[in-house]
Each structure stands twice: as C-alpha cells, then as structure tokens.
Amino acid sequence: MGQTGVIKNITSVSVNGIDLGLGGYLDIGLFDTMIDMLVNFVGTVIFCFVSSNKTIAKVFIPIVNSGQIL
C-alpha cells in the first residue's frame, strides 16, 4: 500500500481508441478536471444572468414560503 508505480516507454496516448497525438503520457484526470471547471464557470455565469432577470428567475427558481413551494 502507498506505493507508486511507474510505466516506462509510453509512446502514445489514446482515449476511446482515438490517439491524442501527444506522443507520451498525459494525466487524463487533469485534462478532464479543467473541462469540468470550464463547464461550471459557464453554468455560474448563466445562473447569475438568470437570477438577475426576475422574469426568467421565477420560471426556474422556486420560492419556498411557509413550507410550500409557490
């Protein structure tokens, strides 16, 4: 436990059978995380726009009053 493995002589990286053309090792987790952060940023910008527009906000954001959703 707690040991790190090393794979030598990696010459290509492919995802779902498609070669990424990087010619070596790529930490796929980092690449995927950066895409996730970009998508979250876009979602945040859209939410800020929607919540600032009261007409659109009423359609998508429920208002809770005395335990009942209005």
Q: Please give the pLDDT value at position 70.
A: 53
Query: pLDDT-derived band of residue 2, with 50, 70 and 90 as boundaries?
Result: low
Kindly state whether residue 38 falls inside one of the protein's structural domains.
Answer: yes
pLDDT(40) > 90: yes
Kindly state whether residue 31 falls inside one of the protein's structural domains.
Answer: yes
Kindly state whether residue 17 falls inside one of the protein's structural domains.
Answer: no
Q: Is 22 left (phi over 0), alpha (psi -120 to 50) or beta?
A: alpha
Kindly state whether residue 15 falls inside one of the protein's structural domains.
Answer: no
Q: Structure pTM?
A: 0.41
Show the domain range for 33: 27-69
Q: Please give the pLDDT value at position 23.
A: 74
Are residues 31 and 25 in contact, defined by beta-carbon separation less than 8 angstroms? no
Kindly state whether residue 51 falls inside one of the protein's structural domains.
Answer: yes
> % helix / strand / coil in the chain, to the nearest 5?
45, 10, 45
Q: Please give the pLDDT value at position 10.
A: 79
Kindly state whether residue 39 falls inside one of the protein's structural domains.
Answer: yes
The number of domains in the chain is 1
